[in-house]
Amino acid sequence: MDEAKGWLLDVYADQDVGIVLWLLTDDDQRLRLRMDIAATFYAAGDFVLLRQAWIYLKDKDVKLERTTRHDLFLGERDVLAVTTSNLSNLPKLFTGLSRQFPALDYYDVDIPLSLRFIAHTNMHLLGRCQVMLDGEWVKAIEPLDSPWEFDPAPIPLRILTLSPDINPSIRKPISLRVQYKQKEYSLQLEPTRTFMIGLKADLKRLDPDLILTDYGDTWLFPQLKMWSEQSGIDLNPNRDQNKEILTRRADSYFAYGQVIYRGAQAHLFGRWHIDRHNAMSFGEYGLEGAMEQARVTGLGVQEMARKSPGAGITAMQMFTALRNNVMVPVQKQQVEGTKTLAELIRADHGGLIYQPIIGLHTNVAQIDFSSMYPAIMVKHNISPETVGKENAPEGLVPRTLRPLLEKRLGLKNILSVLDPRDCRADILKARAAALKWLLVVCFGYLGYKNARFGKIESHEAVTATSRELMLLAKEVAEDMGFTVLHMYVDCLFVQQEGFRWPSDFTPLMETIVDKTGIPIAMEGVFKWVAFLSSKRDARVPVPNQYFGAFQDGSIKYRGIELRRRDTTLWVRKIQLGVLEILASADTPQEWAECVPDVHAFVEHAKHKLKAGRVPHEELIVRQKLSRALDGYKSPSPAARAALQLQAIGREIAPGQSVQFLFTRGGSGVQAWELGEALVPGSVDTKRYCALLDRAIRTVLDPCKPLCISERLL
């Protein structure tokens, strides 16, 4: 028997029996291996129906067994266990069975293959392992590290980057830029045959582990298929040549109060494909973050790069259930308990949100509870099956979150003492950000309608506990002489005369941790922070809009135009420039003295705009279509731009963003992706100046005289 050591890159169902694994070995080989593994799912319910289901399945090449398994809410259940080694056939098998017997309850049907593999072998994706081989067959696999290590050995991936010379939705690309290690060159797309021969040769020669693309999902891979047919050159970008590209079509769906658009997808086998323009949070934490999520969730890198963190948390919960012999239902069974009207009003609340004291405040500390909601779930054992129960054993959700929380806090601690110039800093930051997003969504999934183990009462228990902890923290701060200027779900803004350095606030933080049991961290001490008022009524504070400058001069802002995706780059740049001017002030007096400089800066910016010296790219407005075009009674600017695109044959689906400029005359907009040059002088400078004025009014808001109460008390 041979053995090999290396990193586990990919796992998927084989054609017939078992699974395929790809190992990146220590001696830089890429091995395609196979492993025997079976999958079992369960059916429960009426005995007569189960008997009939048994008869139906008898000749379907599966192993059948009557047994007892644990349902998280219903306890032990008599089930029909159905085991198959043909994992690729499992979905079809289940579809046939559920069509015949829809009234039965089904479990463990749609567990991702990678999770079944990890539960079976204890070997996580992207982890190092040692395998015992008999030819291509894996006989034993031993993990050599853990997904919870802070700094696992880096994987020596071969990364090939492919990007067209232009966004294909604007104009037809002429060439494809190819980057590999330090080399970079272009392949002309025509003649097609020459291009296909060249690309095929490059893929074979470079044999990348990851193909990173721009518009690969929505343009390159669909085009490759067409070009292959046209040119007669067969190009299969999979490393596993037995497989075709796995494609998923584009989709618009309604979630969280808005329409979300998901582009088409192209997944590879034996290597990964990630489209940087179609990867959900790739912009925030990049490849390292996507790999970290794959490592801890058990879903492949290609999946995690494209899916929301919610899919990752669901996978983690499924895995915890598998490892603890809890069945994962296909459909959520549990429903809300009965509540009186008073109980409903009491329970249905979110986090505690204060209304801040409007105006400019100096020497204000922002202290944040670290991953508050997950920490509450773990500390107070809040899980759908434990909520409302005294002394319950650790629930499924806290058991899932505990190692995730520990790793995220551990990474944050390492980063807090790491020299920012350390080459590991960016990688560790990306991993911490990726884990943060998993933790952020885990709370939402407690109450999510489609969450397998979701239950609204556990969602409500978390928010109730969080409100209580915030009130405790407020009381501690006030007992210690602080003024609480603002509170927002998991953070407090506090101030006390004579307190201006982070160390001044340490006793407060220690007391809060002592009282609440939840870790808290100092975000920073603002030399000044401005809490803003409503544009509708200046007497009404706005809880989620503020900006300020820390002691070191760095700026933080929330809720203002700078943070909004529909603000043009030009307005964002000017607003940021204004904040940088204001950040030089240390006191309210100096702040007020900066205002003339601000006005001069803004006037200069407007002058440049009117003189035509602002690049059009900086004036692009980006807005989403909230509905299909024929659903608009009076089309919004985005809808008008989408109509222009529709006229040239481009369809924009609800939830997709449209980019446009405001123009004088006509429909008042020009869609950016028309690719047409703007007529000189057609930019609606008046409209853009109005947008800028609005953004500048936001940051000069604290100049307005305060009402009597704030000024004298």
Partner 1 sequence: MGRTVITITQQLNETESMLSCFRRTLRRSDQYIFDGLFASARRHIAAIGQAESLLPFESAMLAMLLEQSKEIAVLQQKLEELMAKNG
Partner 2 sequence: MNILPVLKTGKLIVVYAPGAACQESMTLIAELGLRGAVTIMDGGNRYRPYQVTMMLRRKTVDVTTAANRLFSRRAFTCYEMNTLLWSTPPLSQPYVILDMLNTFYDDHIPVNESCRLLKSCLSQINRLQLSAPVVITLAPPLVEERAFLVEQVCERADQVLTLEVSSPQITQPALF
What is the contact surface with partner 1 in residues (CB under 8 A)?
A: 256, 341-342, 344-346, 348-350, 352-355, 444, 446-449, 456, 459-460, 467, 471, 487, 537, 539-541, 708-709, 712-713
Closest by CA to 9, choosing from 205, 209, 240, is 209
3-state secondary structure of 219: helix
Least distance between partner 1 and beta carbon 268 (Å): 33
How many other CB atoms sit within 10 Å of the CB of residue 623? 17
CA–CA separation, 518 vs 533, rounded Å?
Answer: 31
Least distance between partner 2 and beta carbon 252 (Å): 11
Site for partner 2 contains 74 (CB under 8 A): no
Least distance between partner 1 and beta carbon 515 (Å): 18
Q: Which of 103, 611, 677, 712: binder of partner 2 (CB under 8 A)?
A: 103
Point out which span in 219-227, 336-344, 597-605, 649-657 binds partner 2 (CB under 8 A): 336-344
Site for partner 2 contains 336 (CB under 8 A): yes
Least distance between partner 1 and beta carbon 666 (Å): 37
Site for partner 2 contains 344 (CB under 8 A): yes
Point out which span in 108-116, 194-202, 326-334, 646-654 binds partner 2 (CB under 8 A): 326-334
Q: Which of 449, 565, 633, 711: binder of partner 2 (CB under 8 A)?
A: 449
Site for partner 2 contains 450 (CB under 8 A): yes
Site for partner 2 contains 48 (CB under 8 A): no
CA–CA separation, 16 vs 61, rounded Å?
Answer: 12
- 102 contacts which partner out of partner 1, partner 2, none, CB within 5 to 8 A by kind? partner 2
The tokens of 291 are what?
């790999």
Site for partner 2 contains 26 (CB under 8 A): no
Q: Which residues pair with 529 in a beta bridge?
A: 361, 548
CA 48 vs CA 44, 70, 99, 329: distances in Å: 11, 21, 16, 21
Q: Which of 230, 333, 554, 587: binder of partner 2 (CB under 8 A)?
A: 333
Q: Which of 337, 615, 666, 675: binder of partner 2 (CB under 8 A)?
A: 337
CA–CA separation, 710 vs 713, rounded Å?
Answer: 6
- 338 contacts which partner out of partner 2, partner 1, none, CB within 5 to 8 A by kind? partner 2
> Which is nearer to partner 1, 141 or 470 (by Cβ)?
470
CA–CA separation, 90 vs 84, rounded Å?
Answer: 7
132-166 b/e (C-beta count within 10 Å ≥ 16 → b): ebeeeebeebebebebeeeebeebebbbbbbbbee
Least distance between partner 1 and beta carbon 353 (Å): 6
Least distance between partner 2 and beta carbon 46 (Å): 13
Q: Which of 456, 560, 571, 696: binder of partner 2 (CB under 8 A)?
A: 456
Site for partner 2 contains 100 (CB under 8 A): no
Site for partner 2 contains 77 (CB under 8 A): no
- Residue found under tokens 């009003």: 345
Closest by CA to 354, choosing from 488, 493, 469, is 488
> Which is nearer to partner 2, 140 or 344 (by Cβ)?
344
Q: Looking at beta carbons, which pairs linking 372-375 to residues 24 or more positions away fall under 8 Å?
A: 372/466, 372/469, 372/489, 372/490, 372/518, 373/439, 373/442, 373/443, 373/462, 373/466, 373/490, 374/401, 374/404, 374/405, 374/439, 374/442, 374/443, 375/405, 375/518, 375/519
Q: Which residues pair with 12 in a beta bridge?
A: 20
Q: Write out the DSSP string of 610-634.
A: HTT-S-GGGG-EEEE--S-GGG-SS
Site for partner 2 contains 713 (CB under 8 A): no
Instruction: Report angle CA 564, 368, 441 to the nearest 5 degrees.
Output: 60
> Which is nearer to partner 2, 449 or 613 (by Cβ)?
449
> Which is nearer to partner 2, 196 or 327 (by Cβ)?
327
Alpha carbon 581 to chain centroid, angstroms? 33
CA 369 vs CA 377, 455, 492, 520: distances in Å: 14, 24, 9, 4
Least distance between partner 1 and beta carbon 388 (Å): 16
Site for partner 2 contains 708 (CB under 8 A): no
Least distance between partner 1 and beta carbon 684 (Å): 33
Looking at residue 626, its amino acid is: S
Point out which span in 33-41, 342-350, 420-428, 499-507 binds partner 2 (CB under 8 A): 342-350
Omega cis (within 30) before 191: yes
For partner 2, the binding residues (CB under 8 A) are: 102-103, 331-342, 344-345, 449-450, 456
